[in-house]
Amino acid sequence: MQYSSEVQKMCPVAQGACHGAAPIPQEGGWTKAREIKDIKGLTHGVGWCAPQQGACKLTLNIKDGIIEEALIETIGCTGMTHSAAMASEILPGKTILEALNTDLVCDAINTAMRELFLQIVYGRSQSAFSEGGLPIGAGLEDLGKGLRSVCGTTYGTRVKGPRYLEVTEGYVLELALDGDDEIIGYKFVHLGRMMDAIKKGVEPAQALADATGTYGRFDQAVKKIDPRKE
């Protein structure tokens, strides 16, 4: 350790009260985190790239400072899908400090890791007050049946109005309009369920029919349109 001449000339003065680290809520307990291995919890973070062309939602499940589970969801940039595939290989098994200083290729994922790191080390995790935390696999359960990200896409113009393309329930097949041409419902197909059925040997047409549903007052429509063509 090197000290400047100014410091060397100083006389020592005893430090007063030192309370150490403030406790943070973690998995149903209060922890004074002094080392990386003291950190645990499941939480989510969102990041974006410099040109804001795409965004990433990152979910990590951390036990004793080690990333045991990572879920990476991306939107808006095709290159990010490849970065996400790499991140799912890179992150598990690393400490959160290693992950923070790992090049995850995509700015959006790097930013998400930064934001998530801050939440975790300050005790703002989703599982902060869940005794014992959440089991490994909890992140995957967020995707629900069919294991597809919840994604919504709507589009609108002043001259032609709104179009619902994809919503929480799934891919929108038709929009239901009333007599004033206002949207009152829609028909959708849950693509995850449809693909699961096809993989089990169900004929595609039947799988499509079984995974199709409606929302709102679809049956009361005066007119039904394909939002991608009409």
Residue type, 84: A
When pLDDT is cut at 50, 70 and 90, the band that residue 103 belongs to is confident
Answer whether 155's CB lies under 8 Å from 163's CB.
Answer: yes
Give the mean pLDDT of 160-188.
Answer: 95
Q: What is the pTM of this model?
A: 0.83
Q: How confident is the model at residue 153 (pLDDT cuts 50, 70, 90)?
A: very high
Decide: 169 and 213 in contact? Cβ < 8 Å.
yes
In this structure, which amino acid lies at residue 221? A
Q: Enumerate residues 6+ apart whose C-beta is below 8 A from 161.
A: 181
In this prediction, residues 97-118 reach a mean pLDDT of 90
Q: What is the dihedral of CA 124, 117, 136, 128, to 10 degrees?
A: -10
